[in-house]
Structure 1
């Protein structure tokens, strides 16, 4: 899997309810399936987990900000 495939998987997971993210991340292979084309230095699972961790934090911040505006 090239980096673009890893990030594509992350985008697909991000569309799911957050409660399902952990289980879906665990299903991703740890090692890259296409190391010849991958430009990432970490495994696919780690890359997706890192991306979704940032998304999770941003979602929480948006929800907190929306709660303060009310």
Structure 2
């Protein structure tokens, strides 16, 4: 199993959460992977999801900047 076991549920939750709440969402994740026997990620869930959401946050902010949006 790939890292998707933890990343996909976190990404789906982030899609339903305003970006301002992503930090709290990340803080709720376990530091170590709860599935070490099947995960191929090599790093903990919190670190991996934080990296993913950081990229998504910057991409959304950039999209809004280009469109002239004002959302947080």
TM more than 0.5:
yes
Unaligned 5+ runs, structure 1: none
TM-score, structure 1 normalization: 0.86
Asked if structure 2 preserves the Cα contact closer than 8 Å seen for 1:29 and 1:45, the reply is yes
RMSD: 1.9
Unaligned 5+ runs, structure 2: none
- What is the count of residue pairs matched by the alignment? 68
Match of 1:50 in 2: 51
Asked if structure 2 preserves the Cα contact closer than 8 Å seen for 1:9 and 1:48, the reply is no
3-state SS of 1:41 partner: coil
TM-score, structure 2 normalization: 0.84
**CA drift at 1:3:** 1.1
Match of 2:40 in 1: 39
**CA drift at 1:9:** 2.6
After TM superposition, which residue ranges in structure 1, 4 or more long, deviate above 4 angstroms?
none
**CA drift at 1:63:** 0.5
Higher helix share: 1
